[in-house]
Structures are given as structure tokens and as C-alpha cells.
Amino acid sequence: MPQFRNDPTLPAPLFPGSHMVIDDDYVFLSGLTAEDIQGGETVIGDMSEETRLVMRRVQRMLGSIGCEMADVVRVDVHITDLDLIREMDAAYAEFFDACRYPARTCTQSPRLYGGAHVEITVMARRPAERQPEAAAEEEAAEEEAAGDAEDEARE
């Protein structure tokens, strides 16, 4: 069953959604902009700094559930000006190993929330060590269901 979570260090989303949706295999992060993060760090107007700010928050959010940037498999990036893609790419690349970049789409979106210049959405695969826990829970549930079936058969 998916878990729907909001990051306690961020303001509640202004849209009807969650910051993170977590299932047994993946974690999905809603798009984040520098404006969504708010606070003294917000640097609206500088593509590189906005990108770093958002990517640091993505990194922290993933870390809070036991994931790393190496677990990221898909990223959607929306920027307000494709002429600034090289600035965004340089800052973005700092967060990944050079030979392990996730699949990515980058589109120009003329207007982003709060006047931000970049919005980043992430999908990450949960680490394998989490999967045995889920498998053990499934196995326990199956054993319990089998036990219930045996009890019903005896009655």
C-alpha cells in the first residue's frame, strides 16, 4: 500500500497532492521549485543556484527514507528558458556520478510557481535491502492467510 507523506520541513503543498509517495519499490517526489522550499535560502533568478537548492532538497528528502541520488531512475525538469539549459545541466550534474545519470526529460515551461526558473520532479528505486522486508511481510501475510484457510477447513 503506498504511503503518502509531506516533508515536515517544507510548507504544506499548495496543490492537492503529497511531497512524496512511497511504495515497496519506488519513491515519487512531486516537482519542487526554489519558491516551494521557501526561507532565507531562496534565490529566485539564478538558474544554477535554484537548481542546486532544489537538488539539495531532493537529496535530503530521499535520504530521509533511506535512498540516495544513485537510486534516482527518472527526472523531469521544467525550466523557463531553454537558453539556460547549460547552466542548469552543470548544477544538476553535480549530484550524480558521471556514468550513472537517470533518464530525464527537460522542457521549457514559460511560467513556474512563484517566479522560479526551474522545477524538478524525481522518481527513485528504493534500495534492495528494503525489498526483503516487504517480501518478509508478504510471506507472513500469506502464512497467516493459509492458517486462516486451514482453520476454516477444519470447521
Which segments in the chain show pLDDT lower than 50? 130-132, 134-135, 149
pLDDT tens column, 112-150: 888 899 999 999 999 876 444 544 555 555 566 555 545
Which pTM was predicted?
A: 0.78
Q: How do 118-125 and 72-79 pair as beta strands?
A: antiparallel
Longest dimension (CA), the chain: 73
